[in-house]
Each structure stands twice: as C-alpha cells, then as structure tokens.
Structure 1
Amino acid sequence: MQTARDLIAEYTSTGTLEALPKGHFIDGTFIRPSHNRTMESFDPGRGEAFSGFTAGTREDVDQAVRSSRRAFETVWRDTGPAERGRILQKAAALILENLDLLAVTETLDSGKPLQEAMGDVRGAARAFEYYAGACDKLQGDSFPLGPDHIGYSIHEPVGVTAHIIPWNFPISTAARGFAPALAAGCTVVAKPAEQTPFTALLLAKLLSDAGLPDGVLNVVTGTGIETGAPLTSHAGVDHITFTGSVQTGKAVMKAAAEEVTRVVLELGGKSPVVVLSDCDREQALNGVLGAIYENAGQICSAGSRLVIERSIHADFVEQLVRRTKALKLGHGLENPDVGPVNSAEHLAKIAGFLDRARARGASIATGGSVTQDPATGKGWFFEPTIVDSVAADDELAREEIFGPVLTVQVAEDAEHALALANECQYGLVAGIYTSDFARAHRLARRIDAGQIYINEYFAGGIEVPFGGNKKSGFGREKGLEGLKSYCKTKSIAARIA
C-alpha cells in the first residue's frame, strides 16, 4: 500500500494518481456508462486539471436509484442490526488502512492542507465506528394503555436516501450521512460535488470491501443540473440529505415537495465568535484564527464574524492581524497554514466581496486580495483577511463569503454582543470566549444557533448533533439525533383481553 510520500512523489512526477477511480459506483462495482461523457477535476493548488471522471445523466441516476431500491427491499432492511454493525466497523478499519490514499486524494480534489485532510479521514472512520455501535441499539418505547391493551413503537428505516455532498468537506460530509443511514437499514445513492468526486467513490469501494451488499451504496458523479436535480426529484427516493447553499437548498425543498420526500438541510452560515473582555486572551486568539482560516474559511460553520467587546477590541485585533500576517500559504500537499480556495469561480466571488467593501471605504486590517502560491505562482489563493469595525447592516456582516475573510464587529458589552450575534439571517453555530462560565451558558441559551462552542471553537465530534436554525436549514446530523433522521416510527396498539 502506497504511503502519502509515495503518492505525493507519484503526483509530482506524473500530475495524477493511478489509483483514482473511474466511472460511477453502482451495484458493487465501478461502471462506465455507454455515453462515456467525462469532466475534468482540478487541483486548486495549481489551478490545473489532474484527472477526469464520469459526467452522469438522468439515466445513470435512475439506474442507481433502482439498484438501491432492490437492495433495500431484498437485502439491507432485513439484515440483522448486529451484522450491519460489523460491516460498518470493518469499514472504519479499512478507512484507516487507506488513510494516506484518501487524504492525498482529498487534498488534490479540494485543495485543503494535507494535515486537515488526514483529520477529515480519521473523522470519517470515527463516524462509521460510532454508528456501528448504534445499529443494535435502535429500540422503541412501550405505552401504558392499561391491563387490556399493549402498545409499543418500533423504528423502521425510511428507505432509499439521497445524499448531495458539498465540495468543502467531501469525505467528512459523506461519512456523517452514509454511516447513520446504513446503520438504520437505509440504502444510499450519493452525488458528490462535481469539484470533488473521488473520495466518495473510494469510500463506496471500501464499504463494498467491508461486506456491504451490492446496491446498498451507489455513487453517481456529474453536475448538479444533470445528476443532482434528477436525484433529488426522483420518485424512488424516500429521503434527501443536502449540504450546500441556501439557494440550492430551496430548489431541493421544492423538488422534494413534489414527491413529499423527507429532507434534512444543512445550509449556509455567518457564525459569530463572541469574545468578551474577561476571556483567556491566548485561548481566544487561537480559537478565532482556527475558526476562520481552517480550510481557507470554506466551512459552513466557520467563525466568520468576530463580535468583540470594545474594551479589548483594539489590542485583540492588533494581535490577530500580526498572527494572520504570519500565516504561510501554499499547496495543500506542502502542509501550509492556509491552502487555496476550491475553484476559480469561487475565488472571483470572494474577491468581489472585498472589491465592493474597499469601494465602500471598509477598514481592511490585513489581506483583501487574490494571490498565488509563493512557491509556484500558481493556484487559486486569497489572502487571509480581516475587515475591522464592520456595521451590522454591511454585506460583509450579513452574507456568507465562504473564504478566509474575518469580519470584526464591536460590541459595547455582553448584551450588545448577544444582539449582534443574533442580528443575522443564519443560525448554524456560535462561539463564546469568557472566563465567566455562568455568563457563557446564559449566552448559549439566548444565541439562536443550532450548536454553541464555549472556549473552544469546533469542540465536540460525531457524538454531538449538528444542524442549523433560520436560513441555516433544519434537521440534525451526527449523534443519535442524526440516526433518527433515517428512521420512521411505527406505533402498534393491540387489545389483549
């Protein structure tokens, strides 16, 4: 098995990786449809294509859905929970055995630094491990109906589930959806983002190698229009898990409404990091930096708004700027502090926000411009950026930029910070830094967001339910709440006397 060093050497010398899969993954194998249409996948760190993949059609989606329907009705829903758990546990082990291949592939596809991709792969393995242990613990309730009746409930799998996977965390998002769906007894048809198709395909093959029956997990690649839309509108789909933009999420909801299909939506975010004057300064500085610059800020739950008390604002931002300027940019395989953004189109979108802000006279404390890999002069990079003292009605404080851009908002006190935190159309996550634990929990109760971090941004793991309020979507993934998304409750009552 090739190590990360071997794979990087192969890529450096050939510009690609031989191990990258070809075709869709349907019925337990890679297939190339007769139309043989392909697309290019780009390395954001170089801004160059490094491989091709199948551009799917409506017919390919239909084949995958029909395959998963057969597998659900004939095999998977009736597979014993303990056996499902054993397969998922084996999958977790295989993911770790293939850590280097998956991580290097993720870096080439998404652009993120290799150490971040390694963490994502380990997190994917942990998701399968966690839900492997939950398979045989899905138990219902009994109802106190008196001596003449018996009543109880059971959890049943919803059926065929569609998963639309985003480009910013391809393997992480795939795993957090696949694992609970399979644990509940559902089958899966996945459509990875056209920018990052490969780790979903590799993951499907590893699950097959772990013993997952053919057709239980199918992956179709291609564009949102030609494969994503047909999948979310397919009459054979019983549930949709979607992660992406608000605009596309609305389209998914409309398509689902036509077939009355269940939906879980994880959409955008403009998450505040509330830093109060009594915080541990070093802890808060490190937390704010990681919250916005991990994965070049391309995270739905990124801490993209710093809401800070005025009494510490100037000194805190000065230190933050100094640390931000010291961050090293580079190709993901070089393990930089900050990697590229995912595409030329997205780079232009980020630049547009800063161009408009500059025209409005915004106070750009550092960064604010398109740049390149200092080592090669290539790639799609944007400077780590801080914009200071932004008004609450400015688009930098209201719209999701999805890049390495931190917006600073100044609060007079904790109550004002709370108001600023909630003055947003999104409600995905929020961070709080303070030494007053009671005040932290009071704020946590009053901030309108699906998940709150206290004194550590991105705290928690697969055990903690995740999802948003307001325009950040609805439904929950991860934790036992995530497992329930793939279950339907059946109640049974009977007279026994």
Structure 2
Amino acid sequence: MTVQDIAQDYLTTGKLDALPDGHFIAGKRTPASNKKMESFDPGRAEAFAEFSLGSDTDMDNAIDAAEKAALHWRQVSPAERCRILNNVARVFRDNADRLAVIEVVDSGKTLAEAQGDVQSSARLFEYYAGAADKLDGRSVNLGPAYTAFTVREPVGVTGHIIPWNYPTSTFARGVAPALAAGCSVVAKPAETTPFTALVMAELLCEAGVPDGLVNVVTGLGSDVGAQMVRDPRIKQLTFTGSVTTGINVAQMAAPNVTRLTLELGGKSPLIAFADADPEKVADGAYWAIFSNSGQICSAGSRLILHKSIRDEVLSILAERAAKIRTGHGLTAPDMGAINSELHLSRIKAHVDAAKARGANILTGGDTTGDAETGKGWFFQPTVIADLAPNDPAIQEEIFGPVLSVQLFESEEEAVTLANGTDFGLIASVYTNDVGRAMRVAGAMDCGQVSVNDYWAGGLELPFGGNKKSGYGREKGWEGLDAYTKVKSITISNAS
C-alpha cells in the first residue's frame, strides 16, 4: 500500500492496522499487565486506539532484559554493529509510509512533517552506524618510561524519555548513538504518542538488533517513567521535555549519580538587522514558528526586529500567517493540530493573558478547528507585536504557533534582548554583514546559531542548550559522548 492508501484507509475507518497494544520487552510484544489508556488523534480529537499503562513489573522486566543484552552487545565487534545499524536505516525506509501515518495520527503533525521525521530517523541510524567502528581512544605521550592510552567503553543500560512533539526522530537520536557505543536501551514514550516507539523497536529487531537490546514500556511518566529514572541499573538518562519535569528527573536521578542529558525548553530568537531582506526574514520567521504548529523546543518563538524593517516584515508575515489552512495531518493542510486538549488549553491561556494585558495581536489569537470538519485541537497562527522584554509572552515558553515580536535599534541592544530569557537553546541572525553575524553569534548564550536560514544545520551538528534549556549534546559526534566512558591505561616500560 502507498502512503496515500494507508492514509485514506485511516480517514475512512478511523483505525490503524496491527498497532501494538502492550509493551516491547526482550524482543517481543508483551501483553499489558496493568490497565489501558486511550490514545487520541489530535486532528479529530477522537480516540483511535488503546495502549498499556505499564506497571512496576513491566519496567523491571525491561531493565532486566536490557542489562542482560548489554553484556552481549558490548562484545559484538564494532564492524558488526555498523552493519546492523545500517540495516536498521534500510528497514526504516522500507516501512517509512506506515511509520509516517502512525506519527501523524499519534502526534497531530502534517504528513509531510512526519515523512521528514522518519527519513531523519533512518539517517540518524546511518550516521551512527558509521561511527560504531571509529570510537577510538588516543595515545598519550608520557615519555619513554611509560606507554599510555585511553579507551572508550559503553556505559551500560541507558534510559530514554521520549517527548510527544517528535516521537520518531527523538527516539532515533538517542537510541542510535547508544547502540553504536555498545549500550542497551529502555525507552518510555510520552503518554500521548506511544506507538511509533513500539513499532520502531519491532523494526530494530527485524533489522538484526539482538533481542532485549531495545525495550519500550508505555505508561505514565509519574509511574513507570519515575521508576526508570530512580533505578540504579540505568547508567545514563536522556530526557527531552519541559524544564519543570527535567528538574524533577535530575533530582530523582541524583541519589544514584546517574549521568544525564537534558534537552529542555527554549525561547529562541531570530534577530533581523536593518540590512536584512524583509522577505527572507518573514519567510524564516514563518517556518521557524509555524513548523509543527510551533511545538518545537527550538522553535523561533521570538522575532527581534530592527525598527527600520518592522512594518514591512510584519506586514508580510501577518498576511502569510492569516492564510494558513489548519487541518488533519493526513489531508495535506498547511499546519497540523496541537497534540492534546490539555496543551491547547495552555496555549490559549497564554494568549488570553496577553490580550488581557492589552498586547497587539496582529493575527490569530484563538482556538480553531479542522478547516473541513471543524474537529480537532487547533490554534490559529498568531503574531503578537511590540512586546516589552519582561512580558510573559517573551519570557515564558508557549510551545505553540505563537510568535512574540521585539524591536531594537543597536547591535548591543539586539544581543541583550536575545540573551534576556532563562533559555539558551538556539538562535538565528539575519544580516548581510559577515562581521556582524560572527560578532552576534559569538555573543549569543546558546548551543547553536544559524545565519540567514533559521533551520540551517543538520544531524551532523551537536544540538543542545545552555541555561534552563538543559545540558549535554545530542546529534553529531558529540552525541556519542553520553553513551561512552573514558578509561586511561598506563603501562610501565621498565625492565
């Protein structure tokens, strides 16, 4: 079946064939040992399947399976790991249509966005397959009396808490380097998007990943998620989510001194100087905030404009935003749904509060529905202009299709505004002056900066934040660091 056939079948029946409804432990589907919970299609605001609410036993079994598998996997040759991970990429591409449709129905995003996520997931396994046999140490010159060198060893069992906004690619960006480094995996997907992780775990085994090496337990974060975080057998935790939950994860993991990678919130700025092309600025800001309905930790949720180009940029941007067609992700809309009713209410509360403060709403500002059916959880593309640095719409992460606009006159002021939040994930600078671009990039307190293209870069580059955006890096070669530990070995050459 083509992706269009799979999509049409779902739109007609409201069902997806052969969805797993239990966990995936020790290489097989494991029946639920606890209650089940409904999973909702955000584009229709209707339940389409059920999944298991994991128990203590389920999580314990998953960690036990991962611990046993890790002992074997670390002995597998790097070349064989490379071969298997390359095969994973092939199997993902062979199943891309099914994965993409599941991602749309699970998360609410558009089919085009989901297809991109699946392809990037395959590419992540391909990238780290190439790293598996290149995780070398280094020799250290201590003089003729000693021979000294370092080796990189796998940390062991790794835990992964997967967010709901990118359930496919976030799964891949943690699991792929963990496997390449010789580690095993226990993953807990978000309650609102449980299915792609389960299906991907099955495909990993189909591709040759040994049983028990990748395990998925579904359920509530407060139950099985917290249990995984507290378990001393977990040697590395990779968490993507909110600042509040990230702090809780760090506190729960602290007694075991568990290694942590935290990718948390963002309030990322796009700075546009007077010499920037207004059309390009508007286009960059459009994709920076309205991709995936703004539900991206690295979304360009703040547009910091030089006063001289304010009117032209905002005119173009507001006109384009007002024309965006919202709709179910399988019907080729311009923008998909908000992931849950709860999150939709949070976005609305943020914007309603801005209205109450007298904010200048240029376009949007309210909930809406599918352009054809009226169903689903949607929020209008929204632009709020001319905000003060301390305004909550500037300081707080809204995590939706809501752009907050600030104005500046000098380069120094632009940098001050850009750095003026608790977050430091990514930033973008639009200017034709290379010197200015380099100065501003250097002055930004964040993990990644692009110039004249907000989404420039790729999985080959490290990704992560400063300040309350978290710590540690994923993607790129640096993404392997979390899953290896360095050991130094020194040999006396004395006779």
Secondary structure of the corresponding residue to residue 488 of structure 1 = strand
Instruction: Tell me if structure 1 keeps the 8 A contact 2:38–2:51.
Output: yes
Q: Are 1:30 and 2:32 an aligned pair?
A: no
Instruction: Tell me if structure 1 keeps the 8 A contact 2:361–2:385.
Output: yes
Residue in structure 2 matched with residue 272 of structure 1 by the alignment: 269
Q: 1:450: Cα distance to partner? A: 0.4
Q: 1:105: Cα distance to partner? A: 0.4
User: Within 5 Å, which residues of 2 pair with 1:350-361?
Assistant: 350-361=347-358
The equivalent position to 1:405 in structure 2, one of 402, 405, 412, is: 402
Secondary structure of the corresponding residue to residue 19 of structure 1 = coil
Q: Are 1:212 and 2:189 an aligned pair?
A: no
User: Within 5 Å, which residues of 2 pair with 1:109-148?
Assistant: 109-148=106-145
Q: Are 1:314 and 2:307 an aligned pair?
A: no
Q: 1:321: Cα distance to partner? A: 0.5
* TM-score using structure 2 length: 0.99
Please give the alpha-carbon distance, in whole angstroms, between the structure 2 residues aligned to 1:326 and 1:31.
Answer: 46
Residue in structure 1 matched with residue 8 of structure 2 by the alignment: 9
Secondary structure of the corresponding residue to residue 270 of structure 1 = coil
Please give the alpha-carbon distance, in whole angstroms, between the structure 2 residues aligned to 1:425 and 1:34.
Answer: 42
Please give the alpha-carbon distance, in whole angstroms, between the structure 2 residues aligned to 1:238 and 1:93.
Answer: 30
Q: Are 1:99 and 2:96 an aligned pair?
A: yes
Q: Gapped runs of 5+ residues in structure 1?
A: none
Instruction: Tell me if structure 1 keeps the 8 A contact 2:187–2:215.
Output: yes
Deviations 1:335-367 (A, max 9, x none): 211111000000000000111111110100100
Residue in structure 1 matched with residue 69 of structure 2 by the alignment: 71
Instruction: Tell me if structure 1 keeps the 8 A contact 2:278–2:312.
Output: no
Q: Are 1:190 and 2:184 an aligned pair?
A: no
Residue in structure 2 matched with residue 348 of structure 1 by the alignment: 345
Please give the alpha-carbon distance, in whole angstroms, between the structure 2 residues aligned to 1:90 and 1:22.
Answer: 26
Q: Are 1:62 and 2:60 an aligned pair?
A: yes
Instruction: Tell me if structure 1 keeps the 8 A contact 2:389–2:417.
Output: yes
Instruction: Tell me if structure 2 keeps the 8 A contact 1:310–1:413.
Output: no
The equivalent position to 1:392 in structure 2, one of 386, 389, 409, is: 389
Residue in structure 2 matched with residue 469 of structure 1 by the alignment: 466
Residue in structure 1 matched with residue 228 of structure 2 by the alignment: 231
User: Within 5 Å, which residues of 2 pair with 1:416-435?
Assistant: 416-435=413-432
Secondary structure of the corresponding residue to residue 375 of structure 1 = coil
Residue in structure 2 matched with residue 51 of structure 1 by the alignment: 49
* AA in 1 matched with 2:291: E
Residue in structure 1 matched with residue 247 of structure 2 by the alignment: 250
Please give the alpha-carbon distance, in whole angstroms, between the structure 2 residues aligned to 1:372 and 1:327.
Answer: 12
Residue in structure 1 matched with residue 218 of structure 2 by the alignment: 221
Secondary structure of the corresponding residue to residue 78 of structure 1 = coil
Q: Are 1:383 and 2:380 an aligned pair?
A: yes
Deviations 1:96-142 (A, max 9, x none): 11110000000000000000000000000000000000000000011
Q: 1:34: Cα distance to partner? A: 3.5
CA pair 442-192 structure 1, distance change in 2 beyond 3 A = same
Deviations 1:405-462 (A, max 9, x none): 0000001122211110000100000011111112111100001010001111111111
Please give the alpha-carbon distance, in whole angstroms, between the structure 2 residues aligned to 1:373 and 1:143.
Answer: 62
* AA in 2 matched with 1:458: W
Q: Are 1:19 and 2:8 an aligned pair?
A: no
Q: How many residues align?
A: 494
Of the structure 1 ranges 143-152 and 178-187, higher mean CA displacement relative to structure 2 is found in 143-152
* AA in 2 matched with 1:7: I
* AA in 1 matched with 2:2: T
Q: Are 1:324 and 2:321 an aligned pair?
A: yes
Please give the alpha-carbon distance, in whole angstroms, between the structure 2 residues aligned to 1:458 and 1:395.
Answer: 25
Instruction: Tell me if structure 1 keeps the 8 A contact 2:124–2:176.
Output: yes
Residue in structure 1 matched with residue 174 of structure 2 by the alignment: 177
Instruction: Tell me if structure 2 keeps the 8 A contact 1:288–1:306.
Output: yes
Please give the alpha-carbon distance, in whole angstroms, between the structure 1 residues aligned to 2:485 and 2:125.
Answer: 21
Please give the alpha-carbon distance, in whole angstroms, between the structure 1 residues aligned to 2:367 and 2:32.
Answer: 39
Secondary structure of the corresponding residue to residue 485 of structure 1 = helix
* AA in 2 matched with 1:88: L
Q: Are 1:302 and 2:302 an aligned pair?
A: no
Residue in structure 2 matched with residue 83 of structure 1 by the alignment: 80
* TM-score using structure 1 length: 0.98
* AA in 2 matched with 1:8: A
Deviations 1:355-382 (A, max 9, x none): 1111110100100001111200100000
Secondary structure of the corresponding residue to residue 342 of structure 1 = coil
Please give the alpha-carbon distance, in whole angstroms, between the structure 2 residues aligned to 1:316 and 1:444.
Answer: 22
Secondary structure of the corresponding residue to residue 494 of structure 1 = strand
Please give the alpha-carbon distance, in whole angstroms, between the structure 2 residues aligned to 1:252 and 1:20.
Answer: 30
Instruction: Tell me if structure 1 keeps the 8 A contact 2:281–2:313.
Output: no
Deviations 1:158-196 (A, max 9, x none): 110000000000001000000000000000000000100
The equivalent position to 1:414 in structure 2, one of 411, 415, 421, is: 411
Secondary structure of the corresponding residue to residue 188 of structure 2 = strand
Secondary structure of the corresponding residue to residue 410 of structure 1 = strand
Residue in structure 2 matched with residue 41 of structure 1 by the alignment: 39
Q: Gapped runs of 5+ residues in structure 2?
A: none
Alpha-carbon RMSD across the aligned residues, in angstroms, is 0.8
The equivalent position to 2:289 in structure 1, one of 275, 288, 292, is: 292
The equivalent position to 1:491 in structure 2, one of 472, 477, 488, is: 488
Q: Are 1:368 and 2:374 an aligned pair?
A: no
Secondary structure of the corresponding residue to residue 134 of structure 1 = helix
**Percent identity between the aligned chains?**
54
The equivalent position to 2:280 in structure 1, one of 258, 283, 303, is: 283
CA pair 26-445 structure 1, distance change in 2 beyond 3 A = same
* AA in 2 matched with 1:72: A
Q: Are 1:446 and 2:443 an aligned pair?
A: yes
Please give the alpha-carbon distance, in whole angstroms, between the structure 1 residues aligned to 2:46 and 2:109.
Answer: 15
Please give the alpha-carbon distance, in whole angstroms, between the structure 1 residues aligned to 2:195 and 2:455.
Answer: 26
Instruction: Tell me if structure 1 keeps the 8 A contact 2:264–2:468.
Output: yes
Instruction: Tell me if structure 2 keeps the 8 A contact 1:40–1:51.
Output: yes
Please give the alpha-carbon distance, in whole angstroms, between the structure 2 residues aligned to 1:491 and 1:329.
Answer: 56
Please give the alpha-carbon distance, in whole angstroms, between the structure 1 residues aligned to 2:468 and 2:62.
Answer: 31
Q: 1:284: Cα distance to partner? A: 1.6
Instruction: Tell me if structure 1 keeps the 8 A contact 2:21–2:32.
Output: no
Q: 1:58: Cα distance to partner? A: 1.7
Q: 1:12: Cα distance to partner? A: 2.0
